[in-house]
Amino acid sequence: MQKEIICTECANRCHLLVEQQGDEIIVKGNRCPRGLKSGREEFLGERVIVHGFVRCGEDKIPVQTSTAVAKGMVYKVTLAIKRVRVSEPVEAGTVLVENISSTGADLIVSEGE
């Protein structure tokens, strides 16, 4: 099985061709090792929605990524979320940061608990 994937780790947006041969995952088209890792994760479904909170005065607003991101990007996204501040209450679904940490996912306000 082959899968075409666009690497979202940086602005080059390399087109990756990922294929499983036995136990091995072959990635072609990546210009650097990050693309190799990203291609493997995307192919294997090793991606997650990142959740967190951003400050709004004394309150905290629940947020999440709009789509799943590579597990290897979770720490970077979490750090980026900590830097986000909101000056007034916002509705669920509002985009706070587009393409957060160049993952291709937006940071949006989530529904909360």
User: Left, alpha or beta for 98 (phi > 0: left; psi -120 to 50: alpha)?
Assistant: beta
| CB-CB contact of 32 with 26 (8 Å) | no
What's 105's DSSP letter? P
Scan for tokens 């190799």, then name that residue.
Answer: 36
Q: How far is the CB of 45 from ligand SF4 (least distance, A)?
A: 18
Distance CA(62)–CA(28), nearest Å, equals: 38
Q: How far is the CB of 33 from ligand SF4 (least distance, A)?
A: 8
Residues that bind ligand SF4 (CB under 6 A): 7, 9-10, 12-14, 30-32, 34-35, 38
| CB-CB contact of 13 with 7 (8 Å) | yes
Question: Which residue number has the CB closest to ligand SF4?
Answer: 35
Q: How far is the CB of 76 from ligand SF4 (least distance, A)?
A: 13
The residue (of 52 and 104) whose beta carbon lies closer to ligand SF4 is: 104
The residue (of 7 and 108) whose beta carbon lies closer to ligand SF4 is: 7
Q: How far is the CB of 31 from ligand SF4 (least distance, A)?
A: 4
